[in-house]
Structure formats: C-alpha cells, structure tokens
Amino acid sequence: MQQFNYYILDQEGYVLLTLKSQFFATQDAAFNSLRPVLNAVRKQYGNDSATLAEVTVGYLDQISLAWECVNCGQQNTLGDCCPECAARECDRCDTTIPLDEENTPNSVFADFRDAFDDGSYNVCNDCLTPIESVELMGRE
C-alpha cells in the first residue's frame, strides 16, 4: 500500500491543486478515488478541461486522460461521454453542433416547452428563426 501524489492541472499545464491520495495498493485505485475531487475542482474553476496528473519523483510522468467514453471507448477529459458523442445534431439541418452550443426550447424561451413549434429540440445558431433569435437575445 502506498500514497500517490497528483496535480490537478488546467489546460495550459498550470497547477491548480496538489493532492495526496489515501493508501492504495494500485495507482489505478488511487486515481479513481480522486476523480470526485477532480470533478469538484472542475466545477469550482468552471474549467472542464482540468486534468489529473500523477506526480512522480521530480517530474510529471504523464498527463492522464481521466475517462473512457461509454459510447465509443475514446479516452477523454470530459467524462463518461466524450465531447464527440456528447455533441448533438441540429434537428433542422443535421449538422453537428459543438458541445454546449445547441439551442433548446428551454434555453430560448422563458416558459417550459417540450419542443420548438416545428417539433425540433436541438437547433444550431444558424437555424434559429428570427423570433427564436430575438427571444434568445432577450434572455442573455
């Protein structure tokens, strides 16, 4: 059993936090135990690309990509689903919308709606109708 040391780094490699794990038999177990801490730090800093890196004597061994996507198996820093699988397609033009940039009825309209008037749900910026754009700007 041993303790493992980790840094939490932002996307430019700056250290946000240094961590020491509890005693674990394997590095993997230690790493998994610190995932909730990484999630908390990501929330606190509003930085989803913060990563957990193991500190070995004197230097950084590797910047570990913390998660495997449950959908495609890709290693990624976002979580159980990688950015590609988490991205939505526009219901009006079928292009893939960058993660978190989709417009939904509830991001556009103040009152709760299951769908836009035409039945679509995820809509890219280009496909918003003039009325929807105005609503959206009114909320921002």
Three-state DSSP class for residue 19: strand
Query: Of the two residues 30 and 69, which places its CB atom closer to Zn ion in the complex?
Result: 69
Long-range (24+ apart) CB contacts under 8 A made by 83-89 are 88/122, 89/122
Stretch in the footprint of Zn ion (CB under 5 A) among 14-22, 41-49, 59-67, 93-101: 93-101
78, 82, 116, 122: residue in contact with Zn ion (rule CB under 5 A): 82
85, 87, 99, 136: residue in contact with Zn ion (rule CB under 5 A): 85
**How many CB atoms sit inside 10 A of residue 77's CB?**
19
**Cα distance between residue 102 and residue 124, in whole Å:** 5
Listed residue (23, 71, 31) closest to 51, CA to CA: 31
90 binds Zn ion per the rule CB under 5 A:
yes
124 binds Zn ion per the rule CB under 5 A:
yes
99 binds Zn ion per the rule CB under 5 A:
no
Binding to Zn ion (CB under 5 A) within 53-72 occurs at 69, 71-72
Query: Of the two residues 88 and 92, which places its CB atom closer to Zn ion in the complex?
Result: 92
CA torsion through residues 82, 85, 91, 94, sign: positive
Listed residue (113, 132, 134, 135) closest to 124, CA to CA: 132
Stretch in the footprint of Zn ion (CB under 5 A) among 1-9, 31-39, 50-58, 125-133: 125-133
Binding site for Zn ion (CB under 5 A): 69, 71-72, 74, 82, 85, 90, 92-93, 124, 127
